[in-house]
A and B are shown apart, each in its own frame.
Chain A
Amino acid sequence: MVVDSLTVTLAALSDPTRRSILERLAGGPATVSDIAGPFRISQQAVSKHIAYLHRARLIEKHRRGRRHFCRLRAAPIKQVADWAELYRAQWEGRLDRLDALLKEIQSKKP
């Protein structure tokens, strides 16, 4: 459902640190310590943001040897960018149903 996943995505994007993390990951996968490097907050705090982004399915984690990497999942972000198209699709569906209802009402009239 459009609204639901958009809610989760926008909530995740509402924090400047999380946005910076995503921008960092747009350059390619990185480990938690790579990501934490430029921030003035603790690696633990960065880990919490990463966990949040992971729950929102904006990033995914994978392992290479003993190192854990995070990488961007572009799809949910693209979904936000495509807002107008999503909203349009919602309305097109609605107007289809309105059209069907109007036909039904008129067919019942003598």
Chain B
Amino acid sequence: MNKPPKTPSAAADYEMTTVRTFAAPRELVFKAWADPALLAKWWGPGGFSTTMKKWDPRAGGEILLYMNAPNGAVYPMSGKFVEVKEPETVVFESAALDPEGKPIFEVLNSITFADVGGKTKLTLHAKVLRMRPEARQYLNGQKVGWSQSLDRLEALVTAIP
């Protein structure tokens, strides 16, 4: 049986980076992040609407928004800005909230905007800061054990009548 490791490794295992180049000037791309009315237009997910309560892009500024699913379900997200440097950097923490308003996991999102010949190269780095500790411990245990054999396991359990 796979046991979770005694010391959960850093959340470094839960990171991702994505890069995108937009055919738009850096000031405009930055504005689409800094202006809550513009941000609400693309935040999504697709088909969702966004109710913007707080989006105060300056260090320490608060974030609270609701993502409204087409079926009426509402998914709250809270957070705060860590660093905002116009027009090149936006860093904020975000947390998906459970129905009682408690964070499930918190992520540090770092976005940089680079001017590349009039276009804008956006780099987004996301890193899990905090998870409910039990969840993280489980995930780390799982990383050692479960993930390697999970596909096999899934095939196995679905094959059993």
Q: How many A-B residue pairs lie within 8 Å, measured between CB atoms?
A: 125
Pick from A15, A77, A87: contact of B146, CB below 8 A: A77
Q: How distant is B101 from chain A, measured CB to nearest CB, in Å? A: 12
Q: B157 to A81, Cβ gap below 8 A?
A: no
Contact for B41 among A62, A88, A101, CB less than 8 A: A101
User: Are the C-beta atoms of A87 and B96 separated by less than 8 Å?
Assistant: no
Q: Are B42 and A105 in contact (CB under 8 A)?
A: no
Verify A91–B126 contact, CB threshold 8 A: yes
A51: Cβ under 8 A from any B Cβ: no
Binary interface profile of B, 1-15, with partner A (CB < 8 Å = 1, else 0)?
110000000000011
For A15, what are the chain B residues with a Cβ–Cβ distance below 8 Å?
A: 134
Q: Does B117 contact A (CB under 8 A)?
A: no
**A84 contacts which of B14, B135, B156, B157 (Cβ < 8 Å)?**
B14
Indicate the size class of the contact surface on chain B. Answer: 35 or more
Determine the residue in chain B with the shortest Cβ distance to A84.
B16
Residues of B within 8 A of A62 (CB): 161
Is the contact region of chain A dominated by helix, strand, or loop, or is it mixed? helix
Choose among A19, A71, A102 the residue that contacts B32 (Cβ–Cβ < 8 A).
Answer: A102
CB distance from A17 to the nearest CB of B (A): 11
Return A81 CB to nearest CB of chain B, in Å: 5
Interface check A93, CB cutoff 8 A? yes
In-complex Cβ contact of B45 among A1, A78, A95 (8 A): A1
- Find out whether the CB atom of B124 lies under 8 angstroms from the CB atom of A91: yes
Residue interface mask A1-42, B partner, CB < 8 A = 1? 101101100110111100100011011110000000000000
Q: Say yes or no: A83 contacts B128, CB within 8 Å.
A: yes
Contact check: which of B2, B22, B134 meets A98 at CB < 8 Å? Answer: B22
Contact B150 A94 (CB under 8 A): no
Residues of B within 8 A of A13 (CB): 134-135, 138
A contact residues around B161 at 8 Å (CB): 62
> Taking the complex as formed, is A45 at the interface, i.e. its CB lies under 8 A from any CB of chain B?
no
Query: Looking at the complex, which one of B18, B42, B99, B146 makes contact with A26 (CB distance below 8 Å)?
Result: B146
Closest to A20 in B: B1
B46 interface neighbour in A74, A88, A93, A105, Cβ under 8 Å: A93
Residues of A within 8 A of B (CB): 1, 3-4, 6-7, 10-11, 13-16, 19, 23-24, 26-29, 62, 71-75, 77-78, 80-81, 83-84, 87-88, 90-95, 97-103, 105-106
Known: A72-B153, A102-B29. 10 other contacts (CB 8 A): A3-B75, A7-B98, A14-B132, A15-B134, A81-B139, A88-B16, A88-B18, A91-B126, A92-B18, A103-B24
